[in-house]
Amino acid sequence: MDKTYLLEIVTPVKIEYRDQVIHVKAPGVAGYFGVLHNHAPFLTALKVGVIEVKSKSGVRFFATSGGFCEVMENQMRILVETCEAADQIDIERAKASRDRALARLKEKAEDLDYTRAEASLARALNRLEVADRP
């Protein structure tokens, strides 16, 4: 019996991934969660983190900056602002983003938007973590 279901990872620009999958692990706002075939329907927000996708062809990793996830009737739709596959991440660009965010936080300027700088740092570190995966 086939224990797969349809996964779509969608950004405002394109469908980043669409395939039958066995298991997905995603970064929910309350912590990471996993979805298998015949999972109960639910809707949740996602935070910055790693989406791990297991299909018959292997395991893939994606860096995401957050969004929403819906599971219903053996379909999972992940709607995110950004999503990058591990093998498509520009490591030098991610390092530069990390360094810029660290420099801004270190300056402690009065007009600095700390929340934005910390979010930028979290996204850059997440991208570097995902790029380091097989």
- In CATH terms, are 5-86 and 90-131 the same topology? no
| CB distance 78 to 67 below 8 Å | yes
Question: 3-class DSSP state for residue 49?
Answer: strand
| Bridge partner residues of 28 (DSSP) | 31, 46
When pLDDT is cut at 50, 70 and 90, the band that residue 107 belongs to is confident
pLDDT tens by residue, 61-72: 999 999 999 999
Question: 3-class DSSP state for residue 131?
Answer: helix
Q: Report the candidate in 16, 86, 28, 58 with the shortest Cα–Cα distance to residue 7.
A: 16
Q: Which two tokens stand for residue 40?
A: 């109960």
pLDDT tens by residue, 15-60: 999 999 999 999 999 999 999 999 999 999 999 999 999 999 999 9
Residue that wins the pLDDT comparison between 4 and 118: 4
Q: What is the CATH number of domain 90-131?
A: 1.20.5.440
Q: What is the CATH number of domain 5-86?
A: 2.60.15.10
| Bridge partner residues of 18 (DSSP) | 8
Put simply, whether the predicted model's pTM sits higher than 0.85 gets the answer yes
Domain locations along the chain: 5-86, 90-131
Place of tokens 């995401």: 64
